[in-house]
Structure 1
Amino acid sequence: MDAFLDQFLSFILVEKGLAANTLDAYGRDLARYVGFLGDEGISTPGQVTPATVLRFLTRLKQDGLSPRSRARALVSLRMFHKFLLAEGVAANNPTSLIEAPKNVRSLPHTLSLAEVDRLLAAPCGDDPLSQRDRAMFEVLYATGLRVSELVGLRQRDLQLDVGYLMAFGKRSKQRIVPLGDAASDELRLYLAHGRPALDKDLGVPQIFLNRAGRGLTRQGFWKIIKRRALEAGILKDISPHTLRHSFATHLLENGADLRSVQTMLGHADISTTQIYTHVTRERLRKIHEQCHPRG
């Protein structure tokens, strides 16, 4: 089965044009699956039955994986077995009739306006790293970029004279996102002073650099926002997507229409964006409970 897995991963790399993060997720899910099949004594695709797949999904549940993670794993399995069927190495697809685990969708964590202000002000120094962090936070809150989109930004993606940037989202889809004055000003300051101080002449095209002069990674940003949140006295569990979630929620709270927010976030399906309307309704309910005499 390992050989079939290698063939499949090569196929989706060349034919599907999936993002690197998606490829990594498929690889992890399927490596775990192939290991499970080995434990079951299964060495050929024809030995896999729907019952085998259900046992694997049960194992994932026992291991503590969430319904969302198990549903993602099932998507990986479906693609794998569909590939095996198309290649003629299997006579059927054992995943075709298996339903995805039910997922109770959790509301995204957001910051209040006051907390956003404190976080944006946390990198208060004039040193290159503070200039970089201020620019990153302002850009994220102004645009709602995914963190992978932020760390992948290049100078050619910026149009500061007209106030927008070009983002490259999932499946390399492009979208134009407004920047706003505050983010544009912090970017200009960082590009004029902070970035040249961090640049080690390595020819790195990314805008945001680490101490070594290399492009900042998603993991690097995660550490930065965690540390800056503590400096700002924010005790909430902040993730790299927190400013993206706050961007969308605050836009809707202030009257933005859902389609515009969908476009700026780069969501292919508006149902993904609609989760933020639940956030705003939940916040209104809490305000009503706290402030109404009979709440």
Structure 2
Amino acid sequence: MAGKTKNRRTGGSGSVFQDSKGRWHFRKDMGTDPATGRRRPPIEATGMVKSEARARFQAKIAEWERDGRLPTKDGPKTADYFERWMEEHRTAANPTTWRNESSWMRTMNAIIGNIRLNRLTADDINGMCRRLRRTRKSKTVNTYLAVLGAVLRTAKRDGLIADDPMENVGRMPEDRYERPILDVADPAKVIEAALAEPDPAVAVFDSPDEREKWALMFELAFTTGMRPGERYGLMPYQLELHHGIPVINVCQQAKPIPAGATIPDWMEAEHLDGAIWLTKPKTAKGVRTVPIPQGLWDRLWAHIVKWGVPSHGLVFTNLYGHPIRRDNEEKRWRRALKMAGLPYVDIYSARHWLATELAAAGASDEERTAIMGHTDIHTTSVYTHWRERRLAKTLDAALPDLRDGQ
């Protein structure tokens, strides 16, 4: 009957109908998404030939069953569900985090990926951890477990597993690692070395202006605790006066993002140059104002004026006017340490140095987290290293003489 729509339902297939133009439709209602409470779009396939439409529909059904979007008796394989979770998680994480988590997931899939998700046990996960521990540090394995835990919590919420096996998996004991940091007076030596004229026999192209630039970068690192990307993305408009106090409004960072990566809207990313993008800081607490000494303020503005840096231009660039990269800074950093006669520590230890000095000066927990841009004091405490000399002074002031001066 031309011009009319034929409707009927077939067992387990949903609705099947032919529209007024003769096109066949196979559709299955998918109900409500447990995560959002909203109705999910139906599975649908169309075609002018009924058999072709049915084949497309069945292929879509098979794909949804494979990764767990459509429940089945056996459930999806762990690897298939992990793959689906990563795709759904893509817009919730920054591209670098997502790339790292994808790599960790592939590593875990090589061990537990063929196990059906609803049959995955704590023993399976503990066995995976033992295998991973042969070639990886405990801290790395615990990072893998954190991602796996997030995946399995989602699977439980989606009704794909009744119990979360991670509830019976403990974190692996981590090897104690004490990050080396410079001593109290060492940062001044680093800055002095950065300004010093290098040995002409070994130096590459150099100039007083170039040395001043890197001395300022290192001074910023020690004085403000700004993360590398926050320093690389610094612009003149971020230098503000609050009630006459010079501060830096830390509200952005320059960071590399892999080519072709999906950049979530919430990152508010703005392309700068090549693979470098301007984004918000790492966390919401990372947006902060950090007071700086007047001398540093004056030196920064002298640099800005000398080079004619516009309000929304980068304060620091390489010799070709492009954004600073981590490897550029690493070379200068190593050279300054060597010229100062200091042992190697990575540039990130400057943040640890500041956190340590803030604690030694008696700063409150709120003050320390505000300056460092941390979400909680626990993280700041990880950055704080109590030197024996400081502890000895504290004990000396706290303890009475127990032997009457003998």
TM-score by length of 2: 0.59
Q: Does the 8 A contact of 1:132 with 1:195 survive in 2?
A: no
Change (3 A) 1:81 1:249: same
**Candidates 297, 307, 311, aligned match of 1:184:** 297
Q: Is 1:62–2:174 an aligned residue pair? A: no
Cα deviation digits, residues 21-70 of structure 1 (max 9, x gap): 433432332221123335xxx164334322221122112211131x3222
Q: Does 1:221 align with 2:329?
A: yes
* Percent of paired sites with the same residue: 21
The one-letter amino acid of 1:36's match is I
How many angstroms does 1:105 deviate by? 4.9
Structure 1 residues 215 and 96, CA, compared in 2 at 3 Å: closer, same or farther?
farther
Cα distance in structure 2, aligned partners of 1:205 and 1:2: 45
Specify every segment of 5 or more residues in structure 1 that has no aligned partner in the other structure, as ranges.
289-293
Partner of 2:66: none
**CA deviation map 1:244-286 (0-9, x unaligned):** 1111212332333333112111121212223466x33533357
| One-letter amino acid of the counterpart of residue 340, structure 2 | A
Instruction: Work out the CA distance in 2 between the residues paired with 1:127 and 1:6.
Output: 52
Distance change >3 Å, CA 265–CA 84, structure 1 → 2: same
Does the C-alpha gap of structure 1 residues 5 and 224 become closer, same or farther in structure 2, counting only changes over 3 Å? Answer: farther
- Specify the alignment match of 2:350 in structure 1: 243
How many Å separate the matches in 1 of 2:153 and 2:292? 42
* Residue in 1 that maps onto 2:232: 151
Task: Give the corresponding residue for 1:291.
Answer: none
**Superposition pairs for residues 135-284 of structure 1, below 5 Å?**
135-159=216-240, 162-168=245-251, 169-173=281-285, 174-193=287-306, 205-235=313-343, 237-275=344-382, 279-280=385-386, 282-284=388-390
In structure 2, the gaps of 5 or more residues are: 1-77, 198-206, 252-280, 395-404
Q: Distance in 2 between matches of 1:28 and 1:220?
A: 27
Report the secondary structure of 2:136's partner residue: coil
**CA 1:267/1:35 → structure 2, altered by over 3 Å: closer, same or farther?**
same
Q: In structure 1, the residue corresponding to 2:166 is in which secondary structure? A: coil
Determine which structure has greater relative contact order: mean sequence separation of CA pairs < 8 Å that are 6+ residues apart, divided by chain length. Answer: 1
The one of 164, 167, 186 aligned to 1:115: 186
Distance 1:3 1:154, change over 3 A: farther
CA RMSD of aligned residues (A): 3.2
Is contact 1:131–1:186 with CA below 8 Å preserved after alignment?
A: no
Q: CA separation in 1, counterparts of 2:350 and 2:157?
A: 42
Q: Does 2:138 match 1:31?
A: no
Rounded to whole Å, the distance in 2 between the matches of 1:34 and 1:186 is: 53
> What's the TM-score once normalised by structure 1's chain length?
0.78
In structure 2, what is the Cα distance between the partners aligned to 1:90 and 1:224?
A: 53
- Larger helix percent: 1
1:221 partner SS: helix
Distance 1:47 1:145 in 2: 46
1:29-108 maps to which residues of 2 (within 5 A)? 29-38=104-113, 42=114, 44-65=116-137, 67-103=138-174, 105-108=176-179
1:9 paired with 2:122, answer no
**Which residue identity is paired with 1:280?**
W
Greater Rg by CA: 2
Residues 194 and 332 in structure 2, CA contact (< 8 A), matched pair in contact too? no
Q: Is the 8 A contact 1:138 1:182 kept in 2?
A: no
1:4 and 1:211 mapped to 2: Cα distance? 48
Query: Structure 1 residues 226-235 or 147-156, which shifts more?
Result: 147-156
For the structure 1 residues 31 and 213, does the alpha-carbon distance in structure 2 shift closer, same or farther, using more than 3 Å as the test? Answer: farther
